[in-house]
Amino acid sequence: MTGYPSAEGDQRVGPGSLLAVVAAVFAACGMAEDDAGLLADSLVQADLRGVHSHGVLRVPEYVKKLRHDGVDPCGRPAVVRDAGAALVVDGRNSIGQIGSAFAMRAAIERARTTGVAAAAVRGSNHCGAMAYYALMAAEAGMIGLATTNALPTMAAWGGLDKIIGINPLGVAIPAHAEAPMVFDGAFSGSAHGKIRVFAQKGLPIPDSWAFDASGSPTTDAAAALDGLLQPVGGFKGIGLALVFGLLSSLLSDAAYGTELGNMVDGPRPGLDGHLFVAFNVAAFTDADRFRRRVDAAIREIHASRRAPGVTRIYAPGELEAETERAYRAAGIPLNAETIRDLEQTAGELGVASVLDRLAGR
């Protein structure tokens, strides 16, 4: 799998300092301190895990949503339908991370008594990386599933119109001694935000990631941003994107597909939908035995024969966990454009110099 461009030459930033800066920026947008901290944490956690497409490069975008594009910095999510193991949450036009964390916590708490609980969300906005919410369940000893709709960036198989979102899925499964098994991926060759990272550095992308506006594969990151994302696995990726987009939207009566908006004009505020599910392992089987069997599955992956040139085989989520350990020790690498955008955004909001505050660990 192709990762992000090399971080050589990027500025290393301590995660604690970065979290404080980004939280201060969001608080200056009118968010409550706890909400600003949660939103900042979701972005810094993505960067810590090496998922820079959903990290602090999105700070200017989120500030624009909160200050100019109609997202309510004070929006308070609430449960508006309660059917036991099935909940509907209205995000009340809060930034997506606020309603999403609320919903996953509600699902976890309900699953303690019902075994499985699902919270469908409407009235929300972009909510970041799905692993953030799936891991909330894993940390509670449960299996977490998180999915969301997204602005259309793909076409129906064989088409050219942007009518289907990449609609990502995140799943986290708790283990005993090993790190949780975590899958977080969209149903496209690459996320739009990841292509933005390549575009920032002026680097080509793999030809399996995107089409240009005419539907031809492209390695030009700028042409990809103007074109279409390629589905993973051909027509299968489109099918999966459709399924999880519908689950994210229709159960809560949120907007779907082009109802959300488009990549030119941007999203319509307060129309996003998500779905969060918590599976209480102890309701199905002995939880300790389950976690040890997950350990065994992970170790079987480690012990399997390797193809030529492969030095290690990773279970889903292990590479991200390894990256997080390294970045906590050495700092998160941020490229010059991300630092510049943070500095400019913070300055416009009267937050103390980002570069001065990021100098510490």
pLDDT of residue 349 exceeding 80, the answer is: yes
Q: Give per-residue pLDDT as tens, 113-125.
A: 999 999 999 999 9
Do residues 157 and 149 touch, judged by C-beta distance below 8 A? no
Most confident of 186-190, 193-197, 323-327: 323-327
pLDDT of residue 3 exceeding 60, the answer is: no
State the DSSP code for 161. S
Q: What is the pLDDT of residue 1?
A: 44
Do residues 100 and 257 touch, judged by C-beta distance below 8 A? no
Between 238 and 53, the more confident residue is 238
Q: What is the pLDDT of residue 145?
A: 98
Give the pLDDT band of residue 353 (cuts 50, 70, 90): confident
The count of C-alpha atoms lying within 13 angstroms of the C-alpha of 293, restricted to the half-sphere facing its C-beta, is: 7
Q: What is the pLDDT of residue 190?
A: 85
What does residue 332 show for φ and ψ, rounded to 5 degrees? -85, 130
Q: Give per-residue pLDDT as tens, 262-300.
A: 988 889 999 999 999 999 999 999 999 999 999 999 999
Between 83 and 215, the more confident residue is 83
**Six token digits for residue 16:** 């604690």
Average pLDDT value over all residues in the chain: 94
Q: Which helix (H) or strand (E) holds 277?
A: strand 272-279
Helices (H), 277-359: 287-303, 318-330, 336-348, 354-358
Q: Give per-residue pLDDT as tens, 193-235.
A: 788 888 888 899 999 999 998 899 999 999 999 899 999 999 9
Lowest mean pLDDT among 8-12, 51-55, 100-104: 8-12
C-alpha 106: how far from its chain's center?
A: 19
Q: What is the pLDDT of residue 359?
A: 65
Q: What is the pLDDT of residue 75?
A: 98
Q: What is the pLDDT of residue 6?
A: 59
pLDDT of residue 344 exceeding 90, the answer is: yes
Mean pLDDT across 27-38: 98
Do residues 14 and 331 touch, judged by C-beta distance below 8 A? yes
Q: Give per-residue pLDDT as tens, 87-104.
A: 999 999 999 999 999 999
C-alpha 150: how far from its chain's center?
A: 11
pLDDT of residue 4 exceeding 60, the answer is: no
Please give the model's pTM, rounded to 2 decimal places.
0.93
Is the dihedral angle over the CA atoms 66, 70, 71, 72 positive or is it negative?
Answer: positive
